Amino acid sequence: MKKWEVGSMSSRFDVVLGIDGGGTHTRVVVADMEGNKLSYTEKGASSIKKDLRAVENVREAILEALSLAACNVTNVKGVTAGIAGLDSVEDYKWAEELIRIEGLNCPKWIVNDAVIAQSGAFLMKPGIVVVSGTGSIIFAVNEAGKEIRNFDFHQYAYSAARFLSYDVIFEILSGNINETDQKLVNQVLSFWNVKEINELRLLGLEGFIEDDRERNKFFGQMGSLVTEAANDGSELARSVCDRSIHQLVVGVEILGSCFSSDVVPVAYIGSVLASPYMETGITESLQQRSRKIYEVREPVLSAVSGAALMALANLDTQITDDTINNLRKV
């Protein structure tokens, strides 16, 4: 790990750290107490379930961000870290290790990354975030302030990029393709560096890639081919995306039933949901079949800014319109 010289830096001002620790990237922002961005950096994944270098990634990101902001660990008054894969009490053991840095002795709040996404999307007010990218989760805070996950009901929407990719390959190998799928099939074969379906089948017989983390990462990288093919009219891609859309909609409706209001704000976050096919499909399905009105909104702040906002709020800092506007710039 690179040794950042934080000991000799300025101690002139107080700052907070916001950390968005995803399954692919770690994003860190250093902000002053008015929400002004002093620095921002990105590194590799934060979850040890996705990357064996997670601890190094997060620590390097923190120290680099502090270096770029020209401040010391002693300047940091609070840290909020949203970490992917933080699902149980046991997970806090490895998550706490991520931000264990000498001299960083301020209050630290570690939560699932969906929490900071919701915080940023709705400025810590009620609403549901649907997250689908490297991972998938539906998370809500209702009017009573209760935090609710679809996981709490043992519901999981298999909509993460890797699941779309697995499903497409399974359908290709089973022969469930037609002329609308030929472009997608060719792209999949090229992605796996094979010339025909039987070669892909032979790869499958060997497990594709031996290491679970590397295999899931590679399948995840293929996910954009599936959503783009759905946009282009591939019946195979659309059937796979439609299955995941249905599961996401059910998850939203379960959480929506925990709101007293008939109008529930919803925001979409993640690479999969950036697809026009997925976004349109979820929105139209919610409008057509749901008893409540799901009001789709653009997130006000990014997840990493949501983490910084939570750190400021946890320190009882006055949050003003100027604070929010400053955090929008991250």
Q: Which amino acid is at 31?
A: A
Place of tokens 């195979």: 236
Per-residue exposure over 248-285, b if at least 16 CB sit within 10 Å of its own CB, e if not: bbbbbbbbbebbeeeebbbbbbbbbbebebbbebbbeb
Place of tokens 């700052």: 15
pLDDT of residue 12: 54
Whole-angstrom Cα Rg for the chain: 21
Q: How far is CA 197 from CA 168, 187, 192, in A?
A: 12, 12, 10
Contact (CB, 8 A) for 81 and 108: yes
> What are the pLDDT tens digits along the chain (330 aa)?
344 444 444 445 899 999 999 888 999 999 999 999 999 999 998 888 778 889 999 999 999 999 999 999 999 999 999 998 888 888 888 899 999 999 999 999 999 999 999 999 999 999 999 999 989 999 999 999 999 999 999 999 999 999 999 999 999 999 999 999 999 999 999 999 999 999 999 999 999 999 998 999 999 999 999 999 999 999 999 999 999 999 999 999 999 999 999 999 999 999 999 999 999 999 999 999 888 999 999 999 999 999 999 999 999 999 999 999 999 988
| Secondary element (H or E) of residue 108 | strand 108-112
Query: Under CATH, which number does the domain 15-123+300-327 receive?
Result: 3.30.420.40
Six-digit token string for 75: 């300047």
Contact (CB, 8 A) for 38 and 32: yes
pLDDT of residue 295: 97
Give Cβ neighbours of residue 174 (< 8 Å, ≥ 6 apart).
none
Instruction: Report the C-alpha gap between 195 and 188 in whole angstroms.
Output: 10
Q: Which CATH class is domain 152-296?
A: alpha beta
Percent of the chain with pLDDT over 70: 96
Residues of the chain within CATH 3.30.420.40 domain(s) are 15-123+300-327, 152-296
